[in-house]
Amino acid sequence: MKALLISGGSPPSKELIEKEVQMSDYIIGIDKGLECLNKYNIEPDILVGDFDSVDRTIFERMAALKKEMIRFPAEKDYTDTQLAVSKVLELKADEVTILGATGSRLDHTLANVGLLYKCLKSDIKATIKDDNNLLFMADRDVELVNEGYRFFSLIAYGGTVKGLNIRGAKYELCNHNLMPEDNIAISNEFIGLNVQLSFKEGTLLIIFSRD
C-alpha cells in the first residue's frame, strides 16, 4: 500500500502531483499542503497538522469534506510532516512519497530528509520528490534506475559508508570509505539505464537531479 503525503513546502506541479495521486492508495494533506490539493481539486483521505499555516477558507472547505482529521496544537514537539509519517506507520503502508517537502525553509527540508531514515528503518520504501529532484536512502546494495534524471549524488548519512563501489556511471568508484563531509560522490552522471551501488556498511542518501 502506498501513501502520498502533501506537505507545505514548495508545491509540486500539476503533472507531478497527478502522476503520484494515480499511484497512491492514501492521500494525506499536511497543513499548508492542503492549499496545493485545493488548487488541483484533489481530495485528501486524511488531514494532518495544526493547520496554523493553511488559508482558513481552504481549511474549512477541506474540513467540510468530513474526511479523517488528525489535529494537533501549534505548540508541539514534532513537525506536522513527522506526525503524518507516524500515521503512515499506523496504516502499515509499505511505500510513501512526500511532495512539498523541500523549499525555502532549509530546517524543514533537512528534517524531512531525516524522515527518509525513519522510514528506511521501518522497512518502508520512502521518497521525497519535487519537480527537479528525487531523494531516497539505502542501507544495502542497490541498483539505481535512471528515470529521466541526468545526475545522481551520494551522501553518507549518519556516519561513514564503508567500501562503496559505483559501477556503470560516468565516474566509477572502488572500495571507497565515504564520510559525511566527503564530496567525491556529488554530481555523478548516468551513462545508461542502470548504475550499481554496493557497500559493506552504512546509509546512503541518494539524490537524483535533472540539472
CATH assignment of the domain containing 144: 2.60.120.320
Pairing mode, strands 142-145 and 194-198: antiparallel
User: Which of 79, 112, 131 is a domain's end point?
Assistant: 131
Buried b or exposed e, range 20-35, using 16+ CB within 10 angstroms: bbeebebbbbbbbbbb
Q: What is the residue range of 159's domain?
A: 138-209
Q: How many domains does the chain have?
A: 2
Backbone angles phi, psi at 93, to 5 degrees: -70, 150
Residue 75 sits in the same domain as residue 147: no
Give the full edge-to-edge strand order of the sheet including 142-145: 142-145, 194-198, 161-167, 173-178
**pLDDT of 86-116, one tens digit each?**
999 999 999 999 999 999 999 999 999 999 9
**pLDDT of 27-70, one tens digit each?**
999 999 999 999 999 999 999 999 999 999 999 999 999 899 99
For 7, the enclosing helix (H) or strand (E) is: none
User: Which of 131, 147, 170 is a domain's end point?
Assistant: 131
Residue 28 sits in the same domain as residue 97: yes
The pTM of the full predicted model, rounded to 2 decimals, is 0.94
CATH assignment of the domain containing 42: 3.40.50.10240
